[in-house]
Amino acid sequence: MSESFTKGMARNIYYGGSVFFFMIFLALTFHTTKEMPERDNRQNITESVERGKHLWEKNNCIGCHTLLGEGAYFAPELGNVFQRRGGEAGFKMFLNGWMKAQPLNIPGRRQMPNFHLNDQEIEDLAEFLKWTSEMEINGWPPNIEG
Amino acid sequence: MNTLKYQSQAVAKPYFVFALILFVGQILFGLIMGLQYVVGDFLSGAIPFNVARMVHTNLLIVWLLFGFMGSAYYLVPEEAETELYSPKLAIILFWVFAAAGVATILGYLLVPYSTLADITFNELWPTMGREFLEMPTITKLGIVVVCLGFLFNLGMTILKGRKTAINMVLMTGLIGLAVFFLFSFYNPTNLALDKYFWWFVVHLWVEGVWELIMGAILAYVLIKITGVDREVIEKWLYVIIAMALISGILGTGHHFYWLATPEYWQWVGSIFSAIEPLPFFAMVLYAFNMVNRRRREHPNKAATLWALGTAVMAFLGAGVWGFLHTLAPVNYYTHGSQITAAHGHMAFYGAYAMIVMTIISFAMPKLRGIGEANCNRAQVREMWGFWLMTVAMVFITLFLTGAGVLQVWLQRLPESGEALSFMATQDKLAIFYWMREVAGVFFLLGLIAYISSFWVKEKVKA
């Protein structure tokens, strides 16, 4: 690096640049949180959805599944599982049957544990996944398989 | 033999030793998970995948934190040219952190996660069950307390001593680490907000303030092993971290493409994260440049190898593999696929595991009273460890990338109705997962070689 470019100049670019771009980041974050109510389906958060999210967290579902593409890549994406597995007509019945059938014990297949949820809890979890699937997330995922 | 410039630097030793013990644990759980990818029911009763993954990722985070803390305790007194403010506090915090870490990992392994949530009163302040932040709220509080004590200790040391650029940058990075961790306590019911601010911990750590920590440690080691003028090295350090933060802060946008957020993040995230490889490329140029312009022949060749290696692997893993899937139109298809896993593995190993091993390699001979460097035989063994682990990680990354490309091809690109389901796709990827597991075994062999190098002594001539 040239001698005329001094350490002091480099330091000023570091401090100035970081502060400047962090300010922009905060401004965009502020704007985004103002825009999110239009997209994140918050008007439909019920107590059941809230309980469902706690169940989702308490059983570490993210340790195997992705939700909106984030999590572990060991088991299917669940952000759109509501649409993939029956939607309005059949999802709740599907989920109830699915949760109770675990572990499937098919030799060699990845095993989902049984989390011993009761009917109300499975209902709450279903409500949470339904609510999540109705968020507006810029058209992701590309297809129903997630 | 006493080979330390400041006696209080010795507190770094337990931090480094414990970091490496946790590293071994991380790799063993990685191998279990890798096998579960292809033999799904392997240990599925005793260690379900989600538990193994939580242990694998949390051990990584905790051993890197131990590594960073050890690095800071080692280099800050020497840079500040004064003894550490309180060595006793550093040792107390070591035991607090180690005990909390071990208790948390045992909690993951011994009781169901929901039980752990109950007995740690998660419902009072729910923060658990989010990726990488699975630890109980009480453990999170413990981390905050340890960080505060640690920063206080370092801050007091720097205040009474010399304020070098390296110390200031390291300190900024560590303060940033502590500040952004506070977002782990914010867990709103609204999943979109939850995820948005979750990235303030995860992204602003690894693509933000951790890069300052990495840059500072690398600069310190380069000054020591090359003897190049501090002014030159610190100038490079500022340039690199300036580029890292200028690109990395708005680069956070690459996580906001598909998240109830305005579309402009697709532009902001794509443009700024496309610049993120630059600081890593500069780091490669700088590391090689400094070593080529060296003014002394440092006897610790292994440390030099680690320093060059971490720059190259961070550029490949974080820079190149990050860029691979960061542009929004590409990310639309690759988001949450095995491509992400490929990037994550090489980036964490290259940038953070390797920088910690760089300073361990440099500092351990002094901490152990051996001198400037280990004997030749021990260094050769250590370099075997370096090459085995690094080449194995290249292959792990390549195989996961292969798996990811095929996964996108089968599951993401076709229309609904024609696309293969997730589980059917996974069956098609089995060959890649098997090869990844084999590469993982080689990584373990490299790790064993590396760890064993600490016991290698020069042959006694008869």
pLDDT in tens, B228-244: 999 999 999 999 999 99
State the pLDDT confidence band at B3, using cuts at 50, 70 and 90: confident
pLDDT in tens, B116-141: 999 999 999 999 999 999 999 999 99
Helix (H, G, I), strand (E, B) or coil at A75: strand
Q: Tell me what the mean pLDDT of segment B298-326 comes to.
A: 98
- Given CA atoms B210, B211, B212, B216 in this order, what sign does their dihedral have? positive
pLDDT in tens, B366-383: 999 999 999 999 999 999
Rounded CA separation B308/B252 (Å): 27
State the pLDDT confidence band at B268, using cuts at 50, 70 and 90: very high
Best mutation target, B212, B258, B264, to test chain A (most A CBs within 10 A)? B258
* Nearest CB to A57; choose among B49, B126, B266: B126
Burial B144-176 (b: 16+ CB within 10 A, else e): eebbebbbebbeebbeebeebbbbbbbbbbbbb
* Distance between first and last Cα of chain B: 24
Let me know the angle formed at the C-alpha of B303 by B448 and B210, rounded to the nearest 5 degrees: 90
Helix (H, G, I), strand (E, B) or coil at A67: strand
pLDDT in tens, B396-414: 999 999 999 999 999 999 9
Q: How far is A124 from chain B (nearest CA, A)?
A: 13
Q: State whether B422 and A62 contact (CB < 8 Å).
A: no
> Which amino acid appears at position B408 of this protein?
V
* Residue A144 CA, distance from chain mean position: 16
Residue B462 confidence (pLDDT): 61
In contact, B431 and B438? CB cutoff 8 Å? no
In contact, B308 and B288? CB cutoff 8 Å? yes
Please list every residue in chain A whose beta carbon sits closer than 8 Å to the beta carbon of residue B128. Answer: 57-58, 60
Please list every residue in chain B whose beta carbon sits closer than 8 Å to the beta carbon of residue A107. Answer: 41
Q: State whether B420 and A32 contact (CB < 8 Å).
A: no
Rounded CA separation A133/A126 (Å): 10
Please list every residue in chain A whose beta carbon sits closer than 8 Å to the beta carbon of residue B44. Answer: 103, 110-111, 113
Rounded CA separation A32/A25 (Å): 10
Rounded CA separation B30/B23 (Å): 10
Q: State whether A13 and B238 contact (CB < 8 Å).
A: yes
Question: Cβ-count burial of A139 within 10 angstroms (0-12 exposed, 13-18 middle, 19+ buried)?
Answer: exposed
In contact, A98 and A129? CB cutoff 8 Å? no
* Phi and psi angles of residue B125, each rounded to the nearest 5 degrees, phi first: -155, 80
Question: Does ipTM come in above 0.90?
Answer: yes
Q: State whether A58 and B420 contact (CB < 8 Å).
A: no
Chain A interface includes B48 (CB < 8 A): yes
Best mutation target, A1, A4, A6, A32, to test chain B (most B CBs within 10 A)? A32
Helix (H, G, I), strand (E, B) or coil at B25: helix
Please list every residue in chain A whose beta carbon sits closer than 8 Å to the beta carbon of residue B129. Answer: 56-62
Pairing of β A70-71 and β A66-67: antiparallel
Statement: residue B266 has pLDDT above 70: yes
Distances from the Cα of B334 to the Cα of B250, B412, B418, angstroms: 21, 8, 18
Residue B240 confidence (pLDDT): 97
In contact, B26 and B59? CB cutoff 8 Å? yes
Tokens linked to B241? 């971290």
Chain A interface includes B266 (CB < 8 A): yes
- Residue B130 CB partners (closer than 8 Å, separation 6+): A57, A62, B184, B187, B194, B198
In contact, B313 and B351? CB cutoff 8 Å? yes
Per cent of chain B over pLDDT 70 is: 99
In contact, B219 and B290? CB cutoff 8 Å? no
Model's pTM, two decimal places?
A: 0.97
Residue from B213, B222, B237, B209 nearest A11 by CA: B237
> Where would I find the H helices in B41-110?
49-80, 87-110
For residue A71, give the H/E element and its range.
strand A70-71
Q: How far is B338 from chain A (nearest CA, A)?
A: 7
Q: How far is A86 from chain B (nearest CA, A)?
A: 14
Helix (H, G, I), strand (E, B) or coil at A65: strand
Residue A117 confidence (pLDDT): 97
Chain A interface includes B249 (CB < 8 A): yes
State the pLDDT confidence band at B460, using cuts at 50, 70 and 90: confident
State the pLDDT confidence band at B458, using cuts at 50, 70 and 90: confident
Please list every residue in chain B whose beta carbon sits closer than 8 Å to the beta carbon of residue A145. Answer: 411-412, 416, 419-422, 425
Chain A interface includes B262 (CB < 8 A): yes
State the pLDDT confidence band at B459, using cuts at 50, 70 and 90: confident
- Residue B129 CB partners (closer than 8 Å, separation 6+): A56, A57, A58, A59, A60, A61, A62, B113, B117
pLDDT tens across the length of chain A (146 residues): 677 899 999 999 999 999 999 999 999 999 999 999 999 999 999 999 999 999 999 999 999 999 999 999 999 999 999 999 999 999 999 999 999 999 999 999 999 999 999 999 999 999 999 999 999 999 999 999 99
Q: State whether A140 and B258 contact (CB < 8 Å).
A: yes
* Phi and psi angles of residue A75, each rounded to the nearest 5 degrees, phi first: -140, 165
DSSP3 helix / strand / coil % (chain B, rounded to 5) = 80, 0, 20
Please list every residue in chain A whose beta carbon sits closer than 8 Å to the beta carbon of residue B263. Answer: 138
Chain A interface includes B445 (CB < 8 A): no
Query: Length of chain A, please?
Result: 146
Residue A1 confidence (pLDDT): 66
